[in-house]
Structure formats: structure tokens, C-alpha cells
């Protein structure tokens, strides 16, 4: 009862954030359940190819959908408050047209593309089939997040996550070893298409719009200049696996991908938190209420950093539970990749400000620099240090990303806000240094589980003892919100 009373003190933005994180927690939980099963059902080479398939899926998604459910969608919800349903329907139409156009280009030069991508033509066709429908779910989900409708989003996210976990695992169990990879991919695509088709129909019924010149023009003008930015983010997250498969081997790509996927459970949650906080950030920027924004985002950074340290602390046990012996050597990459998730969240906080003021040129510049450096470092260091180099180069580039976006955000603030400071750069820098040193320190005590778990318990006790201050902070934020709204 006491917890319910405290929950009622939370502003709607915080409540929505909690439930949106719960959505991603369901997805993460399903991935955690599916991962050890797929690792055991597929060979390391098959798992490596499957990971490369997922990497190419993300890269092709950018060009085939223009990432229309991303930054432009949040801005459109803010720009067209009375026509959100129409924009949602028109956005999925534009995405479908882009997907069919890219598929036509693939068919014209399929031989060249097949050799370049390095996966079976069937898998490439399945990517386009999936992309034709999945954007419908993403734009619907984006609208739910923007309007804080977390119950329906939680229900459908959970349903999709369970189906996406269960069907590939069941399919892999039924088919013989040589056909399991194809069974996993086909069943996963089937789930995405079935769910996406349902939301496509629903969005058209609600929006009653297929084409709108104003919406399509706004989306294209906003998002096309951002393609290098989105591509840079995908390169940082996915190019490692593609390059490992090409220069080292599919088995090594599978080992690296498994470790990366375990650590990126944090990234899934942080992405959800960032998506949930975007409307809150826009609202505070509009009102110039930087104090509350600064307070809440710093608290979220503490939570994200704490999650990274917790994952780093239990990395040896995680790999033993979720993987076979072939994957154990990659345990020292878990803290490195977890820290990448922290800096991903950090640069998104700065990027949200750039998006609000539509400073697309700055966003693109910072992202391109990070991606180019990542590919160059991988090319130079992988032959020397193997797949371990990929984890460290990715972390370095995410730090570079964060620094670049912070610098450009400050330029935007000087131009648009007369130099007002939105975030406390010194405090964020100190916090980031502490998390980096702590995560690397965890690696030094992997052979001493008692010490590791002792530290975890100590941190939990400190958080428990300081819970009143956390609740007071939320109450204070709520009180100031009520005063402003009144």
C-alpha cells in the first residue's frame, strides 16, 4: 500500500518511463531466455551467420525505411498534435514505398549485392519482406510513447516478444541441424510480418491517410540529412560483427555477438528510457525548465551506470549460465560493451536537444566522425588483437560520440538559448570517469566472486538507505511541475 502511495506521487512522465522500461524488460527477458537455447541449438558458425543477418537487417532498415519512426516521428508528434493519426498512417506508407524501391534496386543488381552482403539471397529477400510491415508497429509504438499510453504498449510488446522468442526456438528444435538457421530466420520474420500487418491495417483505419504531401515532404526533408547519422550509429553497433566474420571467421563473430547481445540488454532498456524521456525533454526545453530536466537526467545516468556495473560484476556467472564453454573467453568484453551502452544513453541525452532545435547538421557531423574512426580502428587492430579489439574500439568511439554531441549541443544552446546550460557537464564527466574506472576494476576481481558480490550488496544497501532522498527528489520535481502547470 505504501508503495502505491509513493507511486502516485510520480508525475505522468516518470510513470510512463517506468512502464516503458517494463516493456523493454519483457523484451530483454525473452531474449535472455532465447539466447542460451539458440546458442545450444545452433553451431557457433550458424550463430555467427545469424548475428550477421541481424546486423545487415539493421543496416538495410535505415535505407529501406529511412528510420521514419525515429527522431522525425517525435518531432512530428510535437509539430502536428491534432493530426497524429493521419501522420502515423502516412508515415508507414512512405516507409513501404521506400522499402519497395530498395527491393527493386536489389533485384536489378542482386548478384553484386549477394556477394557484398555475404549471406544467402533468401535471407536478403526475407529482410525486405519483414521491413515492409514492421515499420507499422514502430510508428504505432512511437505514438503510444509520446502520448504516455503505456498499458497497450506493454501488452503488445510482451506478446511480440514472447512470440519472437518461442517460434524460432521451437522451429530450431524441430528441424535437423543443417536447416536450423533457416528455420530460425524464417520463423522470426513470420512473427514480425504477422504482427506488423495487423498494425498496418489498424493505422490506416485510424488515420484514414495513405499519402499526404505535407507529411511526406516534412519527413523526407528532416530525415534524409540524418541518414549518415543513423548509419553511423548502426556502424558502431553492427559493423564489428560483419568485419569479424569477414576478416577472422564466422565462429568468432558468433562468440563476439553472443557477448555483445548479453551486454546490450542494458542498451535495450536505456533506449526505452530515452524514448520515454524525449517528450518530457521537449516539454522542459519549451518551458526553459532546465533544473528539473537536469535533475531527472542525472538520476537516470546514475541508474544506467549502476546497471552497467552490475552486469560487469556478474559477467562470469552470466556466461556460464547462458552459454557453452566456447564462449567463456569473451567474458572480459562484457564490461567494455556495457560501458558502450552507458555512453550511448549519454550521447542520446545531448542529441535530444539537437533534435528539438532541428540541428541536423551537427548531429550528422558528430556521428560520422565516430563511425569512420570505428571502422578505421577495427581495420587496423583486428588483425593484431582479434575480436577483442572490436569491443574496445566501439567503446572509444561511443565516448567520442558523446564528446562530439556535447560540444555541438553547447553550440546550439549558445545560438538558441543565449548560452543557457541545460546539463552540468562537469558532474557528468566526473560520473562517467567513476563508472569507467569501476567497470575496468571489476575485471581485475573476476577470480574473486566473494569480493564482487560483496560490492554489489554494499551498493544495494547504500541505495536502500538513500531511498528517501530519491523519493524527495521526485516529489520536488512533481511539486514544481504542478506550480508551473497551475
Task: Give the C-alpha separation, 202 to 373, whole Å.
Answer: 43
Q: For residue 249, what pLDDT is reported?
A: 72
93 CA to centre of own chain:
24
Domain that holds residue 437: 11-447
**Residue, of 19 and 352, whose pLDDT is higher:** 352
CA distances to 3, 17, 305, 338, 432 from 22, rounded to whole Å, are 17, 8, 18, 19, 25
Does any domain span residue 486? no
Does any domain span residue 294? yes
Helix (H, G, I), strand (E, B) or coil at 323: coil
pLDDT tops 70 at residue 478: no
Lowest mean pLDDT among 334-343, 388-397, 470-479: 470-479
pLDDT tops 50 at residue 481: no
C-beta of residue 384 within 8 angstroms of C-beta of residue 312: no
C-alpha atoms less than 13 angstroms from C-alpha of 179 in its C-beta half-sphere: 9
- For residue 330, the 8-state DSSP code is G
C-beta of residue 328 within 8 angstroms of C-beta of residue 320: yes
pLDDT tops 70 at residue 17: no
Task: Give the C-alpha separation, 346 to 273, whole Å.
Answer: 12
Count of C-beta atoms within a 10 Å radius of residue 421: 11
Task: Give the C-alpha separation, 410 to 404, whole Å.
Answer: 10
Does any domain span residue 455? no
Quote the number of domains for the chain.
1
CA distances to 2, 101, 313, 320, 458 from 454, rounded to whole Å, are 29, 56, 10, 20, 6
Does any domain span residue 287? yes
**Residue, of 175 and 12, whose pLDDT is higher:** 175
Q: Model's pTM, two decimal places?
A: 0.64
Segment 182-232, tens digit of pLDDT = 898 999 899 889 988 999 999 999 888 888 888 898 888 888 877 777 777
pLDDT tops 60 at residue 484: no
Q: For residue 236, what pLDDT is reported?
A: 67
Segment 238-287, tens digit of pLDDT = 667 777 777 777 677 777 777 777 666 677 677 767 776 777 788 788 88
Q: Nearest to residue 319, comparing CAs of 238, 256, 385, 253? A: 256
C-beta of residue 86 within 8 angstroms of C-beta of residue 208: yes
C-beta of residue 78 within 8 angstroms of C-beta of residue 250: no
CA-CA-CA-CA torsion sign (275, 344, 311, 56)? positive
Segment 309-351, tens digit of pLDDT = 888 888 888 777 766 667 777 788 888 888 888 898 888 888 8
Count of C-beta atoms within a 10 Å radius of residue 454: 12
pLDDT tops 60 at residue 477: no
Convert 316-333 to b/e letters by CB count within 10 Å (16 or more is b). Answer: bebbeebbeeebeebbbb
Q: Nearest to residue 188, comparing CAs of 168, 204, 161, 172? A: 168
Task: Give the C-alpha separation, 417 to 359, whole Å.
Answer: 13
Q: For residue 97, what pLDDT is reported?
A: 92
Residue 417 burial (CB < 10 Å; 0-12/13-18/19+)?
Answer: middle
Q: Which three cell numbers stand for residue 322?
A: 547462458
**Residue, of 478 and 71, whose pLDDT is higher:** 71
C-beta of residue 99 within 8 angstroms of C-beta of residue 128: yes
Lowest mean pLDDT among 38-47, 48-57, 231-240: 231-240
Helices (H), 314-424: 315-322, 334-356, 360-385, 388-416
Does any domain span residue 479? no
Q: For residue 103, what pLDDT is reported?
A: 92
User: Cα(first)–Cα(last) distance of the chain, in Å?
Assistant: 29
Does any domain span residue 470? no
C-alpha atoms less than 13 angstroms from C-alpha of 247 in its C-beta half-sphere: 19
Does any domain span residue 461? no
Does any domain span residue 232? yes
Helices (H), 80-120: 84-108, 110-117
Q: Nearest to residue 411, comparing CAs of 366, 370, 344? A: 366
Amino acid at each position: 500500500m505504501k508503495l502505491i502511495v509513493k507511486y502516485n506521487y510520480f508525475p505522468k512522465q516518470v510513470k510512463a518511463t517506468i512502464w516503458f522500461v517494463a516493456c523493454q524488460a519483457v523484451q530483454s527477458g525473452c531474449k535472455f531466455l532465447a539466447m542460451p537455447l539458440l546458442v545450444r541449438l545452433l553451431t557457433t558458425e550458424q550463430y555467427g551467420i545469424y548475428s550477421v543477418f541481424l546486423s545487415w537487417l539493421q543496416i538495410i532498415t535505415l535505407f529501406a525505411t529511412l528510420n521514419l519512426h525515429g527522431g522525425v516521428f517525435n518531432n512530428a508528434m510535437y509539430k502536428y498534435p491534432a493530426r497524429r493519426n493521419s501522420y502515423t498512417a502516412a508515415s508507414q506508407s512512405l516507409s513501404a514505398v521506400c522499402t519497395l524501391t530498395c527491393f527493386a534496386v536489389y533485384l536489378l543488381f542482386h548478384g553484386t549485392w549477394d556477394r557484398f552482403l555475404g549471406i544467402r539471397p533468401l535471407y536478403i529477400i526475407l529482410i525486405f519482406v519483414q521491413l515492409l510491415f514492421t515499420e507499422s508497429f514502430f510508428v504505432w509504438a512511437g505514438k503510444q510513447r509520446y502520448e504516455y499510453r503505456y498499458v497497450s504498449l506493454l501488452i503488445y510488446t510482451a506478446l511480440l516478444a514472447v512470440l519472437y522468442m518461442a517460434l524460432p526456438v521451437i522451429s530450431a528444435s524441430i528441424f535437423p541441424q543443417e536447416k536450423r538457421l533457416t528455420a530460425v530466420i524464417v520463423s522470426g520474420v513470420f512473427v514480425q510480418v504477422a504482427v506488423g500487418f495487423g498494425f498496418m491495417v489498424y493505422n490506416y483505419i485510424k488515420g484514414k491517410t495513405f499519402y499526404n504531401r505535407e507529411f511526406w515532404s516534412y519527413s523526407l526533408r528532416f530525415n534524409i540529412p540524418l541518414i549518415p547519422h543513423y548509419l553511423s550509429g548502426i556502424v558502431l553497433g553492427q559493423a564489428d560483427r560483419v568485419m569479424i566474420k569477414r576478416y577472422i571467421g564466422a565462429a568468432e563473430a558468433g562468440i563476439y555477438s553472443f557477448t555483445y547481445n548479453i551486454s546490450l540488454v542494458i542498451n535495450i532498456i536505456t533506449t526505452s528510457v530515452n524514448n520515454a524521456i524525449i517528450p518530457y525533454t521537449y516539454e522542459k526545453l519549451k518551458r526553459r525548465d532546465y533544473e528539473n530536466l537536469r535533475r531527472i537526467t542525472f538520476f537516470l545516468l546514475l541508474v544506467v551506470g549502476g546497471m552497467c556495473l552490475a552486469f560487469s560484476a556478474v559477467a562470469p556467472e552470466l556466461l556460464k549460465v547462458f552459454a557453452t564453454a566456447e564462449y567463456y573467453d569473451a567474458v572480459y568484453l562484457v564490461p567494455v560493451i556495457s560501458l558502450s551502452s552507458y555512453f550511448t544513453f549519454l550521447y542520446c541525452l545531448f542529441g535530444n536537444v539537437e533534435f528539438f532545435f532541428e540541428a541536423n547538421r551537427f548531429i550528422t557531423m558528430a556521428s560520422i566522425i565516430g563511425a569512420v574512426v570505428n571502422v578505421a580502428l577495427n581495420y587496423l587492430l583486428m588483425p593484431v588483437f582479434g575480436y577483442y579489439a572490436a569491443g574496445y574500439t566501439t567503446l572509444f568511439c561511443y565516448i567520442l560520440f558523446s564528446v562530439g554531441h556535447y560540444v555541438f549541443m553547447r553550440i546550439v544552446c549558445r545560438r538558441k538559448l543565449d548560452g543557457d546550460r541545460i546539463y552540468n557537464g562537469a558532474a557528468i564527466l566526473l560520473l562517467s570517469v567513476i563508472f569507467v574506472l569501476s567497470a575496468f576494476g571489476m575485471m581485475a576481481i573476476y577470480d574473486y566472486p566473494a569480493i564482487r558480490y560483496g560490492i554489489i550488496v554494499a551498493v544495494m544497501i547504500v541505495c536502500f538507505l538513500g531511498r528517501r532522498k530519491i523519493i524527495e527528489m521526485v516529489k520536488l520535481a512533481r511539486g514544481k511541475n504542478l506550480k508551473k502547470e497551475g
